[in-house]
Amino acid sequence: MIRLVLTDDHAIIRDGIRSLLRDQPDLEVVGEASNGLELLELLPSTPADVVVLDLNMPGMDGFETLTHLQRDFPEVRVLVLSMLDHERYVAQALNAGASGYALKNSRRAELVFAIHSVAEGQQYLCSAIGLNLLNKMQNSDGVSSDGPRTNGNLSKRELEVLKLIAEGLTNAEIADKLFTSKRTVETHRQNIIEKTQAKNTAALIKFAMSNGLLG
């Protein structure tokens, strides 16, 4: 059973999330908080595996809350659920200790998958943000006014594969879409990992940030 604490200053949002997760047998909402201060007061008496955290909240916002959670409750995984979709907010949250980032307009299936992913110790980034980042990488000319930048020396085909990976396609599905073999896709995937050293889209955000790929 994955124990969840919902943290959002809008009760209707918390009620909506609770309702969406009601039929998930391995997910249990054990507590709610309207801001970071309430969350930090709640956790000592309400053990949780995953905190679903908004960023824009009064009193103590999500970014400050992440700093306290990292220090005082490092065992708790955090999934940010926000309306903020700009990559710099995503990167800031991940760097502050969030395990995943999803948007409030995500479908229920994606939210459930995100919760499971972070609970299992993985990093998660919703497909909409991942695709936006990858489109920026694909359209980048490799030159910045601040100096040279890199996209990891990915080929056009590797960028295509990376985009389809972010969409959640399997190797077989990617092969069908690109009219190539599954073995070729597996080779491209391995090349992407070796070139970027980013094994998931969350790590890719950090890679792109350090190379000036985000606007």
Average pLDDT of every residue of the chain: 84
Distance of alpha carbon 158 from alpha carbon 16, whole angstroms = 39
Residue 103, CA atoms < 13 Å, CB-side half-sphere: 15
- The per-residue pLDDT for range 156-212, each reduced to its tens digit, is 888 778 777 766 677 888 899 899 998 999 898 888 878 877 766 666 666 656 665
- The per-residue pLDDT for range 1-43, each reduced to its tens digit, is 999 999 999 999 999 999 999 999 999 999 999 999 999 999 9
H or E segment to which residue 66 belongs: helix 62-72
Q: What is the pLDDT of residue 146?
A: 44
Q: What is the pLDDT of residue 168?
A: 61
The pTM of the full predicted model, rounded to 2 decimals, is 0.68
Strand 77-82 with 50-53, pairing: parallel
| Amino acid residing at 64 | E
Q: What is the pLDDT of residue 144?
A: 40
Banded pLDDT at 95 (limits 50, 70, 90): confident
Dihedral of alpha carbons 134, 140, 142, 145, sign: negative
Q: How many CB atoms lie within 10 A of CB 37?
A: 16
* φ/ψ (deg, to 5) at 100: -160, 165
Coarse DSSP helix, strand, coil percentages of the chain, rounded to the nearest 5 percent: 50, 15, 35
Q: What is the pLDDT of residue 215?
A: 46
pLDDT surpassing 50 at residue 52: yes
95 or 14, which is more confident = 14
Q: Which of 62-76, 145-159, 193-207 has the lowest mean pLDDT?
A: 145-159
Q: What's the mean pLDDT in 125-134?
A: 71
101 has which bridge partners?
80, 125
